[in-house]
Amino acid sequence: MNKVEEAEQAFLFSLLLEYEADSSTYAPLSTLHGKYHLTFPESWLDSLVSEWEDFGWVDVSRTHDGTSAKIKRTRYSAVLKRVMSWLDATSLSIDPRKEEILSDASPKEITPVPNGWKWFTYEADSLTSGGVSAPKSQAVGSQIITLDKESGEFQQVQTGLEELIERVRGANDLDDRDRILAGLSAAQSLWSSASLRLVQIKVGVLLAIEDATTALGSLAKGVGAGLLIDLVKSIVKNKTGLDLDNM
């Protein structure tokens, strides 16, 4: 990958983080370069945003105050897949509230991670942060638990996720539907594996359910989203004795 291609991917990743934080707001290009410590020349920004605009993945606003951009709601899944392919990742969870990123791939040298954010990489035998062995609290999160696929509780969660996905899919007026669906689909895949790390349950499953619940508002009550969250926490506590809220 040459320098221009690297710049294209790094810029797209920065827009993805902006979208995760606030999907309705255009990000000013004038602030992106410094905020994400982008390594390519700032003069490239206008050209890069035009390329992704022509590709159909980004909406751009050009005013006398400058140029701003945001990922199109309908192209969120495509952007996420492209970013994961660039990172060689099969899983990528972004939590802007906690300023944390969880993935099975480590960030590349040019991956634009803002100051203060933590990148957790889970691997075959450990959970690491920035390539450094994780402290004890993170090591707990890396613990793998095996769930009983035949148990009623496990199947209740599976059914609950399916119903939540269908409810989100049918909510045509939901502004952030593609992003929420992508998160729920990833959560469904994780849960179906029945063998996953505690941090995957907390970030990959619970966070996706909570995100969908918040977005749906009163509609979430119809699928018992709150009870679904409590059920997942109960399964983990009964299996490990650990409280996910205190991890």
Q: Would you give per-residue pLDDT tens digits along the chain (247 residues)?
A: 789 999 999 999 999 999 999 988 999 998 999 999 999 999 999 999 999 999 999 999 999 989 999 999 888 888 998 999 999 888 888 888 888 888 888 899 899 998 899 888 875 444 444 443 333 344 445 678 888 899 999 999 999 999 989 988 888 877 778 888 888 888 888 899 888 888 788 878 888 888 888 877 766 665 677 788 899 999 888 888 877 777 6
pLDDT digits (tens, 9 = 90+) for 81-114: 899 999 988 888 888 888 888 888 889 989 999 8
CB-based contact 44:67 (threshold 8 Å):
no
Q: 3-72 sits in which CATH class?
A: mainly alpha
What residues are paired with 67 via a beta bridge? Answer: 62
The domain locations on the chain are 3-72, 144-246
Give the DSSP per-residue string, 194-207: SEEEHHIIIIIIIH
pLDDT digits (tens, 9 = 90+) for 2-15: 899 999 999 999 99
Closest of 108, 136, 105 to residue 120, by C-alpha: 105
Q: Counting Cβ atoms within 10 Å, is residue 129 exposed (0-12), middle (13-18) or buried (19+)?
A: middle
Q: Give the pLDDT score at 42.
A: 92
